[in-house]
Structures are given as C-alpha cells and as structure tokens.
Amino acid sequence: QGAGKKAKGKVPTPEAASNDPVTLDKTGNICIKILAKPGAKQNGITDVSEEGVGVQISAPPVEGEANTELVKYISKVLNLRKSDVSLDRGSKSRNKIILISKGVTTPEAVLQCLKKESES
C-alpha cells in the first residue's frame, strides 16, 4: 500500500479542480489568482499553489506601475497578446485576479506555463 491509496467513499469530482489558482468564469474567460509581491529585484513566479500564483514584480506599487508590469509579464510568460490579458480585481491589493480573454488558451495550458516558469 502506498501511492495508490484512495479515500473510502470519495469519488473525485470536477469541482475539486476549482481549488486551482487558474479557473474558468461563467463567461468562459480564464481567471488567475495572483499573490503579488511588488518591488522585487526582477519579475518572476515564486510559487504556484491553491491560494494563488506568487508573482514578484520589479516595478514599485506606485500609481499602478506594478499592475501594468504584472499584466505585461503574465502575457509574456503565457505567450499571449497584452490585449488578451487584463487585471480584473485587486488593483490596490496584493491579491489580484488576472483575466485572460476566452478562446485564446485553456486553464490547463496556463497552469502548465506558470508552473514551468516558477521552476526556471
């Protein structure tokens, strides 16, 4: 008995995936939960967990500079146009939601790119 153990009576459900930091909203856009860390030496993804994606941003949190840099950096990591990536919520908070236009990619692909970037 080891890695193959399953909890009794529990059936894996698709809802379990909603613990991911990357989800689809009702309209089909992709939402990424971001835990922003402005004022870092360089842009980078520090970790990917259920709480969100830790992103350090080199720009200071002044007059939305870090938010602009965050959108630019995320679009670069995901190989998307900046127009497909926008800040949905949290412009004045460290907890942010980034929105990716529907149809340009999948939540799985986004999560894979973010994890790959956090490991490099």
Q: Give pLDDT tens digits along the chain (120 positions).
A: 455 544 444 444 344 445 789 999 999 999 999 999 999 999 999 999 999 999 999 999 999 999 999 999 999 999 999 999 999 999 999 999 999 998 889 999 999 999 999 998
- The count of other CB atoms within 10 Å of the CB of residue 94 is 15
Show Cβ contacts of residue 19 under 8 Å, excluding neighbours closer than 6 positions: 50
| Domains with residue ranges and CATH for the chain | 24-119 (3.30.1200.10)
pLDDT at 19: 76
Q: What gap in Å lies between CA 25 and CA 63, rounded to an integer?
A: 28
Give per-residue burial for 61-89: e unless 16+ CB within 10 Å, then b. Answer: eeeeebbebbbebbbebbebeeebbbbee
Q: What gap in Å lies between CA 4 and CA 67, rounded to an integer?
A: 43
pTM score: 0.81
